[in-house]
Amino acid sequence: MKLSFKFSILILILFFSLSAFASENNKIGLKQLVEKPLIERYILDQLTDLRIQNMKLRNEVERRLSNNEVQQTDRAARYMTDTIGNIFYLIAAATSILIFAGWNSLRDIRNKMENIVEDRVNSITQKYNVKMQVIQDEMKIQSEKILENQNTIYNTHYIHSLWMRSNLETNPQSKIDIYDEIININSDDTEVYAYKADAVLDMDEYEWALNLSNKAIEIDPEYGYAYWQRSCANAMLDNKNDSISDLEMAIQKSPNLKDEIESEPMFKNIKDSDEFKKLLN
């Protein structure tokens, strides 16, 4: 009896549990059935709004494009009209100018054009001739410079060869002839006059040597060897004071000449003088 009572209680508990569970499931299913149509309706409304906005946007774009095309067409038509009007104005102005200037016929126009072209050609020809003359003058100057430089180079080489020949010559007259050739090429070479004076002294031409030394000193007062040659000439002419003075200048301008004083035979007339001995010391 107790077992059947307990069993009955268990069955009742189980029944109420199942009833509660079934009731809960029914609520959930009912809620889903109610919410699903609402969600679908919301989505459909959103899509509808998007389509409407899209249609409005497309209509707006098409309207703006149409307005732009109309404006461009308007602008192009206005530009063409203005251009054609300007062309006509220019033609009218040119015609007025031609009539005002007296160009009333094609013959006048042709004659005036020929005159203008001829004047222009003459002007261009004159400018061309002037430029050509300037170019020719410049080329002439450059050619003269080139020839002058070539002559200078040639003369320099030739003078160098003459100096080499003079160093090989032992005959004073042959040296003098070579020195004269150098003078003919370059008359302002102080060195050649001094060396010619040296050759002339070897020929006992003391006055001639004195004149050549003076010429060398006149060209270059700082050339010590010219004073040396003049001192030798004055010594042989017995101009002792002048010889001593020139010898002092020669040593002052070229100190290395002092080593040659004792070995110079031209100073035999002044070796005994006190001034000469003072120079040696």
CA-nearest of 216, 207, 142, 138 to 179 is 216
Q: Establish if 188 belongs to a structural domain.
A: yes
**Long-range pairs for 152-159 at CB < 8 Å and ≥24 separation?**
155/185, 155/186, 158/185, 159/185, 159/186, 159/189
Give me the pLDDT at residue 270, please. 81
Cβ partners under 8 Å of residue 21, min gap 6: none
Q: Establish if 129 belongs to a structural domain.
A: no
Q: How many residues are listed for the chain in this entry? A: 281
121-149 confidence digits (pLDDT tens): 888 888 878 888 888 888 888 888 888 88
The answer to whether residues 176 and 74 belong to one domain is no
Q: Establish if 118 belongs to a structural domain.
A: no
For tokens 């206005």, the residue is 78
Q: Of 45, 75, 103, which residue sits at a domain end?
A: 103
CATH of the domain at 271: 1.25.40.10
Give 10-residue mean pLDDT values along the chain (281 residues): 53 59 51 58 73 80 76 73 74 67 62 80 82 84 83 82 83 88 87 89 87 90 89 87 87 83 81 78 69
Structural domain boundaries enclosing 55? 20-103
Give me the pLDDT at residue 36, please. 60
Q: Establish if 122 belongs to a structural domain.
A: no
The answer to whether residues 173 and 269 belong to one domain is yes
The answer to whether residues 92 and 192 belong to one domain is no
Q: Establish if 50 belongs to a structural domain.
A: yes
Residue 182: Cβ within 10 Å count:
22
Give the span between the Cα atoms of 230 and 198, in whole angstroms.
9
The answer to whether residues 85 and 174 belong to one domain is no
Q: Of 103, 135, 156, which residue sits at a domain end?
A: 103
The answer to whether residues 175 and 276 belong to one domain is yes
Domain count, the chain: 2
215-238 confidence digits (pLDDT tens): 989 988 888 888 998 988 888 888
CA-nearest of 274, 271, 228 to 247 is 228
Give me the pLDDT at residue 148, please. 82
Q: Establish if 7 belongs to a structural domain.
A: no
The answer to whether residues 175 and 275 belong to one domain is yes
Give me the pLDDT at residue 2, please. 42
Q: Of 103, 120, 149, which residue sits at a domain end?
A: 103
Q: Establish if 267 belongs to a structural domain.
A: yes
Q: Establish if 58 belongs to a structural domain.
A: yes
